Structure 1
Amino acid sequence: MKLKKIICTLFLLVGVSTLIAQEKPKKSEPKSTVLVVYGSDSCHHCIDTKLFLKNNSINFVFYDIDKDPVALREMLAKLKEANISTANLGIPVVDKQGQFIINNGNFEDFLNKLKDDTKK
């Protein structure tokens, strides 16, 4: 009798797990736009960029390319793929879903571009 209960329980568990496995996958939530910022914790423009993004409630992920060689290689590979020269590259470099925003001079213009590009 005890063996019969164990076998019935096992069949019941297998049946329930099969039904659960056959459920249709739920639709994934749409991804929010998150900026990827490549920079350095010792770079004043990078520190100011992070503060600017936080103050403007813009979602971002920061990678310190001085401390994270994988992030550095990732950034360089993305720039190469986008045909962007790294010859006189300054940081921070911002990746917005494949669109790159780079600080090439006027830092105020760079920050305004970040704000403008995230509102589109």
Structure 2
Amino acid sequence: MKYLAFTFLFFMALSSNAKLLSDDVFQDQKTIIVYGSDTCHYCTDTKAFLKEKNVKFIYYDVDVNLEKQQEMLNKLIKANIDVSSLSLPVIDKGGELFTNGKDFSAFLERIIK
């Protein structure tokens, strides 16, 4: 079911003319944006890690905020990142996009470097 949902969203993103930088907060290149889900333990661990390190970030739950889900997908597609096997969280750090890989500790450190 998840595969079907992401496939649907992928094609929606391709046909969308959504504006990627619609909020003023995105103009601040120092702000880290975390796209995640409250049901994803990597997402909640990422938020806890950033709070512990006193790192300024904005979090969007893409399960409930479909506008931000579309924004995330548009950014990933624009960055040529495959969304067919997308894993959360997705990090936007000053325009650099990346997701969690096999080494979660390295992923967390990459956010704060």
Query: TM-score w.r.t. structure 1 length?
Result: 0.68
1:40 and 2:37 correspond = yes
The one-letter code of the counterpart of 1:89 is L
Residues 1:32 and 1:96: Cα distance change in structure 2 (over 3 Å): closer
| Distance apart, 1:64 and its partner CA | 0.1
5+ residue gaps, structure 1, are 1-29
Question: SS at the partner of 1:108?
Answer: helix
Q: For residue 78 of structure 1, what is the aligned residue in structure 2?
A: 75
Off by >2 Å, runs of 4+ in structure 1: none
5+ residue gaps, structure 2, are 1-26
Matched positions, count = 87
Q: For residue 112 of structure 1, what is the aligned residue in structure 2?
A: 109
The one-letter code of the counterpart of 2:77 is K
Question: SS at the partner of 1:72?
Answer: helix
* Two-structure CA RMSD over aligned residues (Å): 1.5
Q: Distance in 2 between matches of 1:89 and 1:51?
A: 22
**Greater RCO, CA 8 A, separation 6+:** 2
8 Å contact kept, 2:29–2:94: no
| Distance apart, 1:59 and its partner CA | 0.4
Q: Which structure: larger Rg?
A: 1
